[in-house]
Amino acid sequence: DTAVSQTPKYLVTQMGNDKSIKCEQNLGHDTMYWYKQDSKKFLKIMFSYNNKELIINETVPNRFSPKSPDKAHLNLHINSLELGDSAVYFCASSPNPGAGAQYFGPGTRLLVL
Amino acid sequence: SQQGEEDPQALSIQEGENATMNCSYKTSINNLQWYRQNSGRGLVHLILIRSNEREKHSGRLRVTLDTSKKSSSLLITASRAADTASYFCATDAGGNKLVFGAGTILRVKS
């Protein structure tokens, strides 16, 4: 009965590979987010979807493509992985865009070798 | 660009002492939130204070907001070893997103 879940928890892969991270929330929220946390713990928003529609797309390389098949799921596909993509990726959700608390998943630790 | 900046970067105290963390930000905000992150875990929402509020309490947490100085503080009273974590402030300045600071690492020694 985890509120926001992500898979996989750990991802180790070679440079140039393509990988996906999946996120699901069972809170009934309309809005979901992807964040990247770097090695210095700085957390930056990448994307946000509201009811399956993209509403935030920060300056992220187009190798990153989010997909929201329904409002409970938000996946992140990364093409041609680079060393600099190594980070922890967090999914989060909130009842609606912007206002109020966000609920975070446990994170996916991506290491690109 | 980074909106919130926490101070200090790291704080080490004894169990039972109070811990105070500060956050400064640059633009007008709708609200400011504090989150906790335990090692290897996701962030957990602690408290939200709106721009028209000056102080808010939740259990052992006390948050203040000074919009004239664009700053906030988080006070944890009677700290416990379980409070050991990173604490982040996040500002809602509109645009449907939160902007997080770099965090304060709190270590509570038992």
- Amino acid in the structure at residue A99: A
Q: Any idea which residue has 């609606």 for tokens? A: A96
Residue of A nearest to B99 (CA): A44
- Say if residues B21 and B102 touch (Cβ distance below 8 Å): no
Residue A33 with chain B: CB contacts under 8 Å: 97
| B68-79 pLDDT per residue, tens | 999 999 999 999
CB contact under 8 A, B97 and A107: no
Q: Any idea what DSSP says for residue B67? A: T
What does the block give as tokens for A52? Answer: 């399956």
Most confident of A51-55, A57-61, B20-24: B20-24
- Say if residues A89 and A11 touch (Cβ distance below 8 Å): no
Please tell me the predicted confidence (pLDDT) of residue A99: 63
pLDDT band at B2 (very low <50, low <70, confident <90, very high): very low
CB contact under 8 A, A44 and B100: yes
As a whole number, mean pLDDT of residues A2-29 equals 96
Residue A104 with chain B: CB contacts under 8 Å: 35, 42-44
User: Cα(B59)–Cα(B90) distance, rounded to whole angstroms?
Assistant: 20
Output B86 or B2, whichever has higher pLDDT.
Answer: B86
Residue B100 with chain A: CB contacts under 8 Å: 42-44
User: Cα(A111)–Cα(A86) distance, rounded to whole angstroms?
Assistant: 5
As a whole number, mean pLDDT of residues B57-78 equals 97
Please tell me the predicted confidence (pLDDT) of residue B7: 84
User: Cα(A56)–Cα(A49) distance, rounded to whole angstroms?
Assistant: 7
- Whether chain A has a CB inside 8 Å of the CB on B99: the answer is yes
- Say if residues B26 and B4 touch (Cβ distance below 8 Å): no
Of residues B30, B45, B88, nearest to A43 (C-beta): B88
Q: Which of B31, B43, B47, B56 to mutate to test the interface with A (most CBs of A within 10 A)?
A: B43
Q: In terms of Cα–Cα distance, which of A98, A13, A53, A91 is closest to B43?
A: A91
Q: What mean pLDDT value characterizes chain B?
A: 93
Interface residues on A facing B, Cβ-Cβ cutoff 8 A:
4, 31, 33, 40-45, 48, 50, 55-56, 90, 92, 97-107
Q: Is B96 helix (H, G, I), strand (E, B) or coil?
A: coil
A10-43 burial: b if 16+ Cβ within 10 Å, else e: ebebeeeeebebbbbbeeebbbbbbbbbeeeeeb
**What distances in angstroms separate CA B5 from CA A40, A77, B21, B88, B105, one per listed residue?**
13, 31, 10, 9, 13
Of residues B97, B99, B102, nearest to A48 (C-beta): B97
Q: Any idea what DSSP says for residue A84? A: G
